[in-house]
Homo-oligomer: A and B are copies of this chain.
């Protein structure tokens, strides 16, 4: 039997700006919460990561294209222009809702472009250019500061097909394996399980969201009690196009 899992909010992080030392801020927040422990998974909201990486655009510098104006309807066409620039493909558009595949390969609303909670009006926050690299940088920085080997997940809130509401999922990972493959494993009745691959990194991101919330300055959480050691990429969680039934 696996043991308990604990999810601890990391709060008291100030409003973030480009080039802030997020790793150091998270170490301080963790120490206020009792400190990191070995095998902890640190989950950090994409928006916090994007801000320190300077992935913020100012709407007043955006000139919308004709296609953006057409898709925008009554919405701000500059925002649609930014979404188009972040997208590899638009899957569905019903203004103001646009479902896009990002340049990384994530399928989500607005290609992950988000207006809420950006510092100052008229700015948009984009996804990190390489969320795995963002996770690795945080992992490396924390190792440098405290000689700790953490798993790190950069998370974001995604909608889902057929279901209402968002759940947080893993965009980038470092120091952990995002999928748990049960193929070849036998269940308690002795039957081999098949088609059983669990997206543990997404479940961990969702568990972290339960304490992070959206409005209270808690951009990160520790998930403790799992053993997800291994290596992998947030892109491992993307359904390969040839296996995707919903394009």
A residues in contact (CB < 8 Å) with B? 1-9, 11-12, 15, 92, 94, 97, 99, 107, 109, 115-121, 157, 160-169, 178-180, 182, 185-189, 191, 193-200, 202-204, 206-207, 209-211, 213-218, 225-226, 236-239, 244-246
Contacts and interface: CB of A to CB of B under 8 A. Distances in A.
Given A107-B161, A210-B226, A215-B188, A203 B167 contact: yes
Tally of this chain's copies = 2
A197 B166 contact: yes
Closest 5 CB pairs of A and B: A165-B199, A207-B207, A203-B206, A161-B246, A107-B162
Contacts of A209: 198, 203
Given A6-B6, A246-B92, A199 B161 contact: no
A39 B161 CA distance: 30
6 contacts: A163-B238, A165-B237, A187-B214, A187-B215, A198-B214, A207-B210
A92 B168 CA distance: 26
Contacts of A116: 187, 191, 193-194, 196
A198 to B, nearest CB: 6
A189 B117 contact: yes
Given A165-B199, A193-B214, 9 more contacts: A1-B9, A1-B216, A4-B211, A15-B189, A92-B246, A99-B245, A157-B196, A164-B238, A167-B203
A9 B225 CA distance: 12
Given A187-B116, A189-B118, A216-B2, A210 B199 contact: no
Contact of A198 (B117, B157, B162, B218): B157
